[in-house]
Amino acid sequence: MDLEPIWLSLRLAAITTILLLFIGVPISYWLSRKQTVLKLIAEALITMPLVLPPSVLGFYLLLAFSPSNAFGEWLQAHLDLQLVFSFKGLVIASIIYSLPFMVSPLKAAFSHLPKSMAEASYMMGKSKAQTFFKVLLPNIKASIFTAVVLTFAHTLGEFGVVLMIGGNIPGQTKVASIAIYDAVETMDYASANSYALILFAITFIIVVGVFIINRNAVKSPFE
């Protein structure tokens, strides 16, 4: 069995998760503050990938990134960047598709932190940046871990968006989910089963890890 699609999936999931961690933390904190109409619209747009069929999102991303359209043409002409049928395109599409899996847990965690925590930090002379990094973030470690793991697992199993944007190019865009689809199409059920079992095992370990970490995080000190 060719393990290249598995490694490509892991690479895509890792890069997407790392980038989304840096993108999602400030967005989540901003959304958790006082609600405005702008934040309501922004949160709705971020949440859309949860309810949109992946093929719909993938289709519109394909149109946007295509060199035959204005945005795609501008990217290629000015940045020499082609996102359609490339690994870079998969990363951008995965960031958009998996964004709610990073933002939602973090926003909920920030929202549940008591305001007195930040206020006490300010009274002790800490700046906003010091309060954010040394007080608020350490208190949502479990939620950060959950968001990271869910984002990684979700990206690992992507199919519709990946197929629309990346196609099926071995070594570049042929991730494990696409390899499973190809194997089933050619009735190579043995290969499809091998890929599926590997993804199942990785995802199962990830989910169990989340449950264990969260259980330990909320365990009473008297237990």
Q: The domain spanning residue 58 has which CATH number?
A: 1.10.3720.10
Residue 223 located in a structural domain:
no
Which residues fall within 8 angstroms of residue 84, CB to CB, at 6 or more apart?
62, 65, 66, 67, 72, 165
Quote the pLDDT of residue 118.
87
Residue 137 located in a structural domain:
yes
The total of structural domains in the chain comes to 1
Q: Which residues of 43-62 are buried (b: 16+ CB within 10 A; e: fewer)?
A: beebeebeeeebeebbeebb
pLDDT beneath 50: ranges in the chain: 220-223
Residue 194 located in a structural domain:
yes
Quote the pLDDT of residue 217.
62
Using DSSP's 3-state secondary structure scheme, residue 175 falls into: coil
Q: Say if residues 49 and 57 touch (Cβ distance below 8 Å).
A: yes
The conformation of residue 153, written as its DSSP 8-state character, comes to H
Tokens 């990785």, residue?
202
Residue 24 located in a structural domain:
yes
Q: Say if residues 162 and 77 touch (Cβ distance below 8 Å).
A: no
pTM of the predicted model over 0.85: yes
Residue ranges making up the domain that contains 199: 4-218
| Side chain identity at residue 105, one-letter code | P
Picking from 105, 85, 94, the residue whose alpha carbon sits closest to that of residue 148 is 105
- Tens of pLDDT, residues 140-149: 988 898 899 9
